[in-house]
């Protein structure tokens, strides 16, 4: 039987630096746990545009369709700000999500005890936080037609269309309910059914799907209230299900509850392939941070935890995912910090590569 396959797309800015630490950890699992992967690498985003004049070459897209999982670093940077919209680095990421049909985006927001003081909220509000936002990723206002900037009378008008079909809502909802069944059996769906017809349909479909999961406690909330509740008392939630636009906003709001974007992973999952594994792309929530690229200041933990999600959701290695997550928790508890997490006494400042080495040390200690 062949090894599971991973396509690494480091991308731009700090992407190659944080991905280098993931490659070390992939190697550790091969050497110490005999969990082998066939790893290949290619370009996406600005690096792909520099090489090919497109943010995602067709050959790379074909590779992404064939592998068991894609690991992506980050894309973009001011160097590409003046490019036409159609070839901006972010279009490469959007193409991957759309053509792989990665409709379910899982964004955990977990606050490690050692970092509770880094949140802008009071420690007791965020300590022990562990929620999951499930964002529908391939439909809604980011993809709806018509869209564009048009002449209307004597002025221009910008148009984006919020559009959802029942089946698009249903498959995202089913993904969230299945996840809730594996967690604490509690799900809150967020939309704007009070002012948007797409929100009315969303609520109706989620309620219908929820009837198939009677063990899950289902609630509904308007998304603007959800944003307020996330900063008021986030631990009232477990799994949050929402659409593409609101999911983008709410997950970034939840991200800052944990103290640093450099800590947060994500998984984007699609329909099962022939081998039963879902099509999948894993990436940190943070951006390419070109201002610190090449300086060894980047925090690789979000990218490392994204690989932990790959172990859990793509490779049926839940126990090893737990091992990696606990290794990260141990390193943070020991006071090891990259530049984004400094500011308290008694910590040990480390570079990007030294943080990766510290996680590997904690993995060694777990054996």
Residue pLDDT, tens place only, 314-325 = 999 999 999 999
Binding site listing for Mg(2+): 224, 248, 252
Please, what is the Cα angle at 71 between 172 and 78, to 5 degrees? 100
Greatest C-alpha distance within the chain: 70
Residue pLDDT, tens place only, 156-180 = 999 999 999 999 999 999 999 999 9
Binding site listing: 77-90, 97, 107, 135, 224, 248, 252, 287-299
pTM value? Answer: 0.92
In the prediction, which pLDDT does 25 show?
Answer: 98
Mean pLDDT of 59-81: 96
Binding site listing for NAD(+): 77-90, 287-299
Spell out the residues 6+ positions from residue 295 whose beta carbon is closer than 8 angstroms to its own: none
Residue with tokens 């020991």: 334
Point out the residues that are catalytic: 142, 192, 224, 248, 252
53 close to 77: Cβ distance less than 8 angstroms: no
Q: What is the CA radius of gyration of the chain?
A: 20
3-state secondary structure of 113: helix
Residue ranges and CATH numbers for the domains of the chain are 1-105+261-367 (3.40.718.10), 130-257 (3.40.718.10)
242 close to 136: Cβ distance less than 8 angstroms: yes
Residue pLDDT, tens place only, 96-138 = 998 999 999 999 999 888 888 888 888 889 988 999 999 999 9
Binding site listing for substrate: 97, 107, 135, 224
Alpha helices in the chain (DSSP H): 15-33, 46-52, 58-66, 89-99, 123-126, 166-182, 197-210, 223-232, 244-257, 301-313, 318-333, 352-365
């Amino acid at each position: 039987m062949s090894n599971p396959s991973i396509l690494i797309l480091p991308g731009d800015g700090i992407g190659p630096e944080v991905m280098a630490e993931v490659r070390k950890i992939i190697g550790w699992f091969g050497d110490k746990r005999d969990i082998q992967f066939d790893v290949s690498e290619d370009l996406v985003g600005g690096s792909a545009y520099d090489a090919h004049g497109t943010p995602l070459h067709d050959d790379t897209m074909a590779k992404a369709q064939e592998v068991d999982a894609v690991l992506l670093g980050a894309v973009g940077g001011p160097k590409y700000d003046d490019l036409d919209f159609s070839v901006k680095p972010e279009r490469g990421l959007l193409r991957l999500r759309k053509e792989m049909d990665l409709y379910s985006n899982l964004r955990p927001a977990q606050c490690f005890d050692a970092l509770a003081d880094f949140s802008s909220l009071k420690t007791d509000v965020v300590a022990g936080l562990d929620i999951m936002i499930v964002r529908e990723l391939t439909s809604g206002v980011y993809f709806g037609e018509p869209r564009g900037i048009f002449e209307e009378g004597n002025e221009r008008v910008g148009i984006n269309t919020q559009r959802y079909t029942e089946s698009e809502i249903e498959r995202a909802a089913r993904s969230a309910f299945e996840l809730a069944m594996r967690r604490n059996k509690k799900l809150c769906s967020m939309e704007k059914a009070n002012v948007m017809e797409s929100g009315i349909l969303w609520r109706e479909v989620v309620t219908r799907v929820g009837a198939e999961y009677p063990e899950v406690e289902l609630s509904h909330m308007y998304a603007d209230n959800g944003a307020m509740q996330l900063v008021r008392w986030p631990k009232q939630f477990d799994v949050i299900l929402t659409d593409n636009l609101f999911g983008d906003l709410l997950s970034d709001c939840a991200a800052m509850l944990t103290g640093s974007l450099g800590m947060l992973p994500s998984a984007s999952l699609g329909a099962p392939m022939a081998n039963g594994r879902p099509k999948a792309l894993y990436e940190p929530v943070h951006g390419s941070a070109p201002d610190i690229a090449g300086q060894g200041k980047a925090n690789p933990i979000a990218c490392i935890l994204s690989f932990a999600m790959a172990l859990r959701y793509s490779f049926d290695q839940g126990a090893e995912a737990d091992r990696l997550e606990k290794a990260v928790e141990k390193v943070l508890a020991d006071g090891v910090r990259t530049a984004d997490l400094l500011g308290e006494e008694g910590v040990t400042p480390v570079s990007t590569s030294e943080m990766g080495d510290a996680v590997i040390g904690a993995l060694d200690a777990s054996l």
